[in-house]
Structure 1
Amino acid sequence: MKTIKNWILTGLLLMAASTVFSQGKITGTLIDEQLNAGIPGVNVTIKGTSIGTSTDMDGKFSLQSTVATGQIVITFIGFETKTIDFSVKNGQTIDLGAIRLTEDTSQLDEVIVVGKGIIDLAKDRKTPIAVTTIKSSEIVEKVGSSDITQTMVNSPSVYVSGQAGGFGDSRISVRGFQQDNTAFLLNGQPINGMEDGKMYWSNWSGMSDIANFIQIQRGLGSSKLAISSVGGTVNFVTKATDKKEGGFVSTGVGNDSFLKTTAAYNTGIMKNGFGVSVMMTHWQGEGYNEGTRGEGQNYFISFGYKPNDRHSFNFLITGAPQEHDQNFTKRISDYLAFGRKYNNNYGYLNGKYVSERVNFYHKPVANLNWDFNINSTTSLSTVLYASWGRGGGTGNYGSSANKRYVKQLNPITGSIQDTYIDFDQIYDNNLADADGIGTNSNYAIRASMNNHEWYGIVSNLKKELGKNLNLNFGLDLRTYNGDHYRQISNFMGLRGWSESRPLRDNTHVVPNPNTLPSQSNTVTESYNIDPWHAFFNNAAGNQKIDYDYSETISYGGVFGQLEYANDNFSAFVQGAVSNQTHQRFDYYDYQEEFQDSEKISNIGYNVKGGSAYIFAEQHSVYANAGYYSRQPYHDNIYLNFTNQVNPLTENEKVLGLEAGYSFKSRMFTASLNAYRTTWEDRVVTTSGVQAADGTIGTTPVLAGDVIFTENQGVKQVHSGLELDFVFKPLSNLDVKGFASVGNWEYDGNAISTKRDENLNPLEVTETDLDGGKVGDGAQTTFGLGTRYEFLPRFSIDADWRYYEKLHANVAAKENLELPSYYLVDLGISYKMLVGKNKQNNVSFRINVNNLLNQIYLSELTSNTKTTDNISSSNPSLGTYQSNGRVYNGIADGNFGYFGLGRTWNASIRYNF
């Protein structure tokens, strides 16, 4: 028996040895179909085994097979996965030759994503969300001379407005929620304003140059932080230090004298583990509308270091100093009289162009990322970040009656009206001042400064608890200090400015000069508004006017997520809790001992959960739910820009529900999403002093009593359906489309409550808003885009978008609906291979936006009906309708913007 066992064991060993030694070599070269060049770093594996390798710098690979027949699986970010059958005999070497890979438009570009555990991307969580990813190549091609927001227009439930204001003044809404209710992240760090949650795209004018991709996560998103993602989350992921050496130079031109030049170079990761990437940009243009000139730069420096397979470091600093002149909303009748590009914020002084409204800012951002693979199941990602903002916006200072305009006849209204600013007359009036020291009876141009310093850290630990179970937890710490004051930027012929004010204490809501000490100061210095100069030169304390205050906001939060996922099912639960503290310091309007306000702390939290199921391989469904208790913004905590604390603020409540279905095949992918989001318990409070004895409601009040007016925001309910798809019927043809149908309404009554100092209600006023439409975003949108490659590396693309049910940006039960409109954009691209072995290329791009030159209203900020009287004080003048003052169904007394007409840009780029 023992002998038989030995023979059986020997036979098994021989069979195993035969299997081991029955192996052959497989080689090949992977080629980028677009560039006709080898692709380094591509993953090549034998399906069903652990055997794999990656291509070298020339795209070549070689691996040993332990099976005689099988399949080679080729995967690489940014390219379609490819599977190739093979058959190899014992000891044989087979060469698969040149294998051409096709770019996958649904994936991200080849990037080194630093802070992998910090940047919450949809692909990193198995349970799906509603998401749109915009690749670097699309950003470079389509942004042209526009803001980075232009790249987001082909996404469902996203509306871009404000473009007519000037460079960097656009805004986006997601699912009907404005920017202060959408979270924006840069490499995982929050970049919404800490004071009010708003975004100012002029501060991020260089984003199109440095972004590797943008991911718009609508609704609950995948972010683990306790952030204000009511409408959604937008992730900007920047370039890092590239693996390969190379770079590019580019130049572009466009309508209205637009010019942009960029140069970039990266060393690649060298043998010692170090690498550097550098990029510089300059741009300038006259702007589409009158008086909207702009100019700026962008710089990006990234240092990478990978000492071994466990640690990876990347430090980057980027900034986009810029200045641009601004355009504000005006009556439709003004546009019709003086042209759709009309702007009354500028004029001429001695024949030289001068703008009263200039935005200027320089906001360097730095972050240090550390990725640490602790072991095979545990990894730690940490980002330390900082930003330093300097700049602001200019405007008139002094009584508005001292501003002088050139007067012209408005043929629409039949009246003589103020148009362009007459700086010559203003200058002459100031020169005639007896002592040359301006007061409220003069005119100067001031700059309202908004400087800040912001530091933070986000760290996430990921632990694989088992084959199908992952745990993430981490912390989010931030501290912010903002300084706000005004300074003179142009005395307009004066040699100084003098003003005085009473100094507050903590017992007087409104300072009375008869009971409080006063202080006077005279400023004699004016300050350059060039963003580079403004960054390093702050006004001295005795050279500040109107106000001078600062705030400190500190934030500390913890978060966690647990996800289970197998081949067909996934489920997750995540939560975060945070504490936010606020304190205000007023150096201008308060006596020294009362300059520091009370410190206020608020706790907020969120919790989210969901699950998904994949069936029949190509189909999947998911459902997610989330609840937020969000702290109020700083600007609502202190009343009327004073140190007086608002006693009525409370956390806002947000409930999100969403579900979806997706289908994926080789030629066609699509997703359908449904959502319902409610937002309530918003409180905005103001305070004032009763001017004389009287009554409010039925309660007697005395002169000098402090009265609080609490405006409780009505509940908003946003629901809708979203569809997006990608269809690739041919290898050289891509078709994309989207649709979104929303119903965004107010629910209930808006309540305004007047209270006394003891917070007793005096009078309650209700305004019926129930069913009123939420404005500033088109509730119905459709889009279709196509890209066709006529010849190798020569393509044309077009996008069509339709917008309907766009309402005015006001809260009203009968909100004004703007006319629907559609836009068509066209682009042409060509890439020419050059250099040794054709590994370099020159790319050409032409964009024409609003190809058909559609004339449309992009937004309104008023709600005047055609049946309203032209003059409320003189009804005998009749209504807008009776006077024929109606444009496309809209009363011409409404304020707003026309959208941009036909614009174009062209660029050439050399990649090496």
Structure 2
Amino acid sequence: MKNITQNLFFAIIMVFSTVSFAQSIVSGTVIEPETNMPLPGANILIKGTSIGATTDFDGNFTITSDATSGQIVISYIGYESKTISFTGSKALGKIRLEQNETSLDEVVIVGSGIIDLAEGRKTPVAVSTIRAKEIQQKIGSQDISATMVNTPSVYVSGASGGFGDSQISVRGFEQDNTAYLLNGQPINGMEDGKMYWSNWSGMNDIASAIQIQRGLGSSKLAISSVGGTVNFVTKSTESQQGGFLYGGFANDNYYKSTVGYNSGKSESGWGTSFLFTHWQGDGYNDGTYGQGQNYFFSIGYTPNEKHNFNFLITGAPQWHDQNWSKSISTYQEYGRKYNNNYGYYNGEYMSERRNFYHKPVANLNWDYKISEKSNLSTVLYASWGRGGGTGNLGSVIRTDDGYIDYDAIYAENEAIEDGAGGYGYGGGYITRSSINAHSWYGAVSNFETELSDYITFNVGLDLRTYYGEHYRVVENFHGLETWNENITLRDQNNNHQRYGYAGEYKIGSTNRDMAANPWTAMFAEFREDEKIGYSNDERISYGGLFTQMEYSKDNFSTFFQGSLSSQHHQRFDHYQYADQSLIDGTSPQGTGTPLPDNITDGVDSEKVNNVGFNVKAGAAYIIGDSHKFFGNIGYYSRQPYHDNIYLNFTNQINPLTENEKIFGLELGYSFASQNFTANVNLYRTSWKDRVVTTSYIEDEFLFYKTNQGVEQLHSGIEIDAAYRPIMDLKIKGFLSLGDWEYKGNAETRISDENQNVISTEVQDVDGGKVGNAAQFTVGIGADYRIFERFSVDADFRFYDKLYASVGAVKDNLELPSYNLVDMGVSYSLPLDNDFKKSIDFRFNLNNVFDYVYLSDLSSNIAAEPEDETYKGINVANQGYFGFGRTWSASVRFNF
């Protein structure tokens, strides 16, 4: 018995010894690579088991396994997961997790159900994400559009016009046909869908991330985005206390200063964040000075785990002088920076063309966690835009070298009797401001619930009401005392009325002016008799319902999405219409007699209501851990914009307008491994019954060209990839090849700056190339960390198959291809051991080799054998040269 007991005892000892010998202890420290700060709360799991651990406050972990070898998977929200093999016990040291280029979960603090991000749905879309760090590093003195240039099928042009005058095209569709959202709030113009980036000059300061969803996108809103959806996710009230001071400098006397501070969340759940910026500069081209501010204030409150509130208000008042496109021959004569929109009076600079605007935006977000399976997110928002653009009324007097001779203009104005200028009243010259003002209120709400372990259901609404005002006032009399105008009245059907013997009526005179200043415009009010040229308003009301259902199980997911919307329009003209008594011929007024007061009461247009809808569906399948295939299909019936409903800037309804029809198909493939990721997207988008409007300058006058009934067909392929051969080197690249053409016939209408129709004709545009965006682009970039906290980066881009921006034409003009190289250097100097205080330095050099290129043309004049040409292009064509070599430098103190 004793021997049996001894043998059993030794057997037990041998078993436990074997177990102890077989155990492996793996330890390490998980850190963020850019700052070397620890990542507390990271998840560590032994692959194929349920054995796991989390990192402590210092990023450390220890995990014990019975296996002698295996793999651990380290994951953290917003970062790429990392898999590391181990054999026996092993100390892994510092483990760097790289930021996930597409995930934005960690920056969306509020409005998670409203801000339509691609990862909000498991069925994928063609998407690119730009994070705050890249925005802040590479923006320099440019506007926010410049951060998107390294994205497939995105083309940015027109920056030579002045600060914030750039244009963006996505898959060949201009920005009025791409949806732009700010924290879930639609921000495209309600009248024409356009974006004016100067109004959003502060976006680079407050953006946490930008996500560009090309094509059908994942947005649940009742919007019909043809090119794609661009989501701007702004800062909200941040949970950590701290702040920063920023100073930046760039070419052409540009400088910028910013201060920001976050109080952090208190124990009672309150917190605030604020930011203020001032910038100014001379502009790259002559006579394109600019100046502006940006303010941001956010207050958050989290009373408990179920509710989260955040209120923010932001705005970017600015003014900038503008440069119009010119003929290539003019640039050859005067230089590529030439701008003739300015001159001097008594030696002081004065510009004829200035844009000024102030657009405060406020929104209130409420996130409500109803249960473990159901959430409700709502945003209430408002914006109030005030400002406009200046130009001339009257004949311009110029110096011999083409600049405006304000000394001569003042002398001529002072010679006019009683200082009373105006059309038919002695002539003269003034600078006018064309005012665009609006008040916009809206709400977006989304309810999401898990119907089962595999099915998620969303339903929501999108409500907006918009009131816009458009009129002209005098900006500068230039020595005159008053400005007078005559007008020939018209009835509701746009027929001119003739009363008495002349048919012209003096509508009064004005002696009031307003400086082109965004702060002044914000609070200015004008009576109807103080307005000149035109005065009209519009009311646009919009209501939409949207829903989505997604099924996801194991490696398969599929979704269906639909929306229905109703859009109401009405126009009010206060300036050019006679009331019924005058139309009946009962009024005895004649030339020069002031019109009765009831003329300025305005005439209301007929009300127009259009219903639209969209449906989208898709599916995705994952093979293994690395391969994902997906396909999406969608059809939109989109209502026409307000400016296309009413003909020729009158109350007359355009009989040709109808809902635009968009049909899209997409196929995609994604590959992901530990060091390499790649995405391939194929698309085909058909767009029928659309309207295209462009503008051009001729003999110093601005003209608009509108094509109606246009059909476009866009198809192409997009590839983007990222590769990290070693920990300190990251390589990214993209390629996009498009075939974008017009189909069938189109009606073309030319109108002048004063909204008068010059001509109308029908054209065959079948096979014509879509302009304003390069149909072939390729780019490659690298970011190399030379040593800890010091890195360099460079980007190369090549553009080809770029055609003139002239609307729908059959034979479009192809511009010369070109390439650009940008470079940057970053260094972060830590000031404490916790990396909470640091000084960050950044230097950018854009267009390193000072490449000379045409970024866009607004005409397509063919080159004949006898014509003078520039790189094969007739020098009579008008457009812009792109920027030459530019630089910027900045320093940021974080505390």
State the TM-score, normalizing by the size of structure 1: 0.86
Q: Of the candidates 823, 830, 834, which is equivalent to residue 833 of structure 1?
A: 830
Residue 788 to residue 434, structure 1, CA distance change in 2 (3 Å): same
Match of 1:682 in 2: 690
Alpha-carbon distance in 1 for matches of 2:217, 2:279: 34
Cα deviations by residue, 1:583-610 (Å, 9 ceiling, x for unpaired): 1111222334762211110000000011
Measured after TM superposition, the shift of residue 713 of structure 1 is: 2.7
Q: Is the 8 A contact 2:103 2:119 kept in 1?
A: no
- In structure 2, what is the equivalent of residue 588 of structure 1? 575
| Letter aligned with residue 397 of structure 2 | R
Structure 2 residue matching 1:816: 3-state secondary structure? coil
1:859 corresponds to 2:856 = yes
User: 1:490-510, CA deviations, whole angstroms, 9 ceiling, x for partnerless residues?
Assistant: 100011112233444435523
SS of 1:425's equivalent? helix
Residue 818 of structure 2 corresponds to: 821
Counterpart-to-counterpart distance in 2, 1:683 and 1:189:
25
CA-based RMSD: 2.9
Matched with 1:850 is 847
Task: Indicate yes or no: 2:547 matched with 1:560.
Answer: yes
Task: Give, as a single letter, the amino acid of the residue that structure 1 aligns with 2:435.
Answer: M
Letter paired with 1:682: R
Distance change (3 Å), C-alpha of 1:741 and 1:33: closer
Larger displacement relative to structure 2 (721-730 or 610-619)? 610-619
Give how far 1:684 is off: 8.1
Equivalent residue, structure 2, for 1:886: 869
Q: Please identify, of 589-598 and 765-774, the stretch whose mean Cα deviation from structure 2 is larger.
A: 589-598
| Contact kept? 1:502, 1:513, Cα under 8 Å | no
TM superposition shift of 1:33? 3.4
Q: In 1, are the aligned partners of 2:420 and 2:481 still within 8 Å (CA)?
A: yes
135-144 or 34-43, larger mean C-alpha shift = 34-43
Q: CA deviation at 1:662?
A: 1.1
The one of 861, 865, 883 aligned to 1:900? 883
Distance 2:493 2:833 in 1: 78
1:224 alignment partner in structure 2: 220
The SS at the match of 1:33 is coil
* Residue 637 (structure 1) shift: 1.1
Query: Are the aligned partners of 2:104 and 2:209 in contact in 1 as well (CA < 8 Å)?
Result: yes
- Does structure 2 retain, via aligned residues, the 8 Å contact 1:383–1:457? yes
- The corresponding residue for 1:639 is 647
Q: Which moved more, 1:711-720 or 1:450-459?
A: 711-720
CA distance in 1, matches of 2:299, 2:25: 39
Equivalent pair of 1:35/1:839 in contact (CA under 8 Å) = no
Mapped partners of 1:254, 1:750: distance in 2: 45
Change in 2 beyond 3 A, CA 1:97/1:497: same
> After alignment, is 335-344 or 106-115 more displaced?
106-115
> Aligned pair in 2 of structure 1 residues 281, 51: CA closer, same or farther (>3 Å)?
farther
Deviation at 1:736, TM superposition (A): 0.3
Aligned partners of 1:330 and 1:96: how far apart in 2? 62
CA distance in 1, matches of 2:156, 2:760: 37
Q: 1:109 to 1:797 in 2, by over 3 A?
A: farther
Return the match for 1:663 from 661, 671, 681.
671
1:430-509 alignment, distance < 5 Å = 430-440=413-423, 441-506=427-492, 509=495
Aligned to 2:17: none
Greater CA drift, 539-548 or 499-508: 499-508
Partner of 1:404: 397
Q: Hey, what's the Cα distance between the residues in 2 that align with 1:517 and 1:486?
A: 20
The code of the aligned residue for 1:853 comes to D
Deviations 1:97-143 (A, max 9, x none): 86554444454484243111111111111111111100110000011
Q: For residue 576 of structure 1, what is the amino acid of its counterpart?
A: S
Structure 2 distance, partners of 1:238, 1:251, is 21
Q: Residue 193 of structure 1: SS of its match in structure 2? A: coil
How much has 1:72 moved relative to structure 2?
6.5
Structure 2: which amino acid aligns with 1:544?
K
* Alpha-carbon distance in structure 2 between the residues aligned to 1:720 and 1:141: 31
Q: 1:645 to 1:106 in 2, by over 3 A?
A: closer
Q: Who is 1:793 aligned against?
A: 789
Match of 1:18 in 2: none
Match of 1:137 in 2: 133
| 2:692–2:710 contact (8 Å) kept in structure 1 | no
Q: Aligned partners of 1:508 and 1:97: how far apart in 2?
A: 79
Which of 416, 423, 428 aligns to 2:411? It is: 428
* % identity of equivalent residues: 58
Distance change in 2, residues 1:190/1:147 (3 Å): same
Aligned equivalents of 1:175, 1:71: Cα separation in 2: 42
Contact 2:82 2:674 in 1 (8 A): no
Provide the rounded CA distance (Å) in 1 between the counterparts of 2:464 and 2:26. 53
Contact 2:494 2:652 in 1 (8 A): no
Alignment check: 8 A CA contact 1:25 1:62 kept: no
SS state at 2:77 partner: coil
Work out the CA distance in 2 between the residues paired with 1:143 and 1:607.
37
Amino acid of the structure 2 residue aligned with 1:561 = Q
Equivalent residue for 1:654, pick from 642, 647, 662: 662
Cα pair 1:575 1:605 within 8 Å, conserved: yes
Matches within 5 A, 1:328-407: 328-398=324-394, 402-407=395-400
Q: 1:777 to 1:97 in 2, by over 3 A?
A: closer
Q: Is the 8 A contact 2:843 2:888 kept in 1?
A: yes
Task: State the Cα distance separating 1:542 from its structure 2 match.
Answer: 2.6
Q: Which residue of 2 aligns with 1:202?
A: 198
The residue that corresponds to 1:522 in the other structure is 509
What runs of 5+ residues in structure 2 fail to find an aligned partner?
1-22, 580-597, 694-704, 751-758
SS at match of 1:333: helix
Which deviates further from its counterpart, 780-789 or 268-277? 268-277
Tell me the distance in 2 between the aligned counterparts of 1:149 and 1:110. Answer: 23
Contact 1:579/1:602 (<8 A) preserved = yes
Q: 1:273 to 1:54 in 2, by over 3 A?
A: farther
User: CA, structure 1 residues 710+407, in 2 after alignment: closer, same or farther (shift >3 Å)?
Assistant: closer
Residues 568 and 684 from structure 1, CA distance in 2 versus in 1: closer, same or farther, beyond 3 angstroms?
closer
1:76 maps to a residue whose letter is: Y
Cα distance in 1, alignment partners of residues 253 and 890 from structure 2: 14
2:701 match? none
Task: Tell me if structure 1 keeps the 8 A contact 2:28–2:62.
Answer: no
| Alpha-carbon distance in 2 for matches of 1:534, 1:753 | 33
Question: Please, which moves more after superposition, 59-68 or 814-823?
Answer: 59-68
Query: Structure 1: which 5+ runs fail to align?
Result: 1-22, 409-418, 686-708, 755-762, 868-880
User: Do 1:612 and 1:623's aligned partners in 2 also have CA atoms closer than 8 Å?
Assistant: yes
- Contact 2:555/2:622 (CA < 8 Å) preserved in 1? yes
Tell me the CA shift for residue 406 of structure 1: 0.9
Partner Cα distance (1:54, 1:534) in 2: 56
CA-CA distance at 1:48 after TM superposition: 7.3
1:539-581 C-alpha deviation (Å, 9 max, x unpaired):
2333211111110100000000111112211111101010000
> Relative to 1, partners in 2 of residues 1:207 and 1:764: Cα closer, same or farther, differing over 3 Å?
closer
Q: In structure 1, the residue corresponding to 2:240 is in which secondary structure?
A: coil
CA contact 1:735–1:785 (8 Å) conserved in 2: yes
SS of residue in 2 equivalent to 1:150? helix
Larger displacement relative to structure 2 (476-485 or 511-520): 511-520
The answer on whether the counterparts of 1:506 and 1:594 sit within 8 Å (CA) in structure 2 is no
Which amino acid in 2 is paired with 1:815?
Answer: N
What is the deviation of 1:524?
A: 1.1
